[in-house]
Amino acid sequence: MLAWAGLPLQQFDTMAVVRDRHYWVRSDAIFEVVALLPPAWRPVKLLRYIPRILRDWTYDRIALNRYRLFGKHDICLLPNPDHEQRFLKEPTSEANAVEPIDP
């Protein structure tokens, strides 16, 4: 997908969202994710009116300092059953269904 979007294949170190034959990176990718979140997140979309150069600069500062700002775990936490509700669900269709293989 990175090659399709013309993005670097080596050392790609930012967020990217690919959907419906379009792609977004950095702050634009954040807004694509926010658009899929519940309505309580809608006010965040107003930040999209800030010029991209300023949004991406802010995105880069947060990304460079993410461990200092949000902390870092030494181990990978196992999800609890209530974590499933935190993930966005993809609509299911018959075309995407995978049938199990009989042993």
pLDDT digits (tens, 9 = 90+) for 57-102: 998 888 888 777 777 777 777 777 777 777 666 665 554 454 545 4
pLDDT at 102: 47
Q: What is the mean pLDDT of the chain?
A: 78
- What is the DSSP track for 56-96? HHHHHHHHHTHHHHH---SSPPPPPGGGGGGSPPPPP-GGG
Residue 88 lies in a domain: no
Residue 18 predicted with pLDDT over 50 = yes
Q: Find, among 51, 46, 21, 19, the residue nearest to 31 by Cα.
A: 46
Residue 80 resides in a domain: no
Count structural domains, the chain: 1
pTM, 2 dp: 0.59
Q: Which domain holds residue 53?
A: 2-71
38-46 mean pLDDT? 89
Looking at the domain assignment, is residue 79 inside a domain? no
Residue 38 lies in a domain: yes
Does residue 8 lie in a domain region? Answer: yes
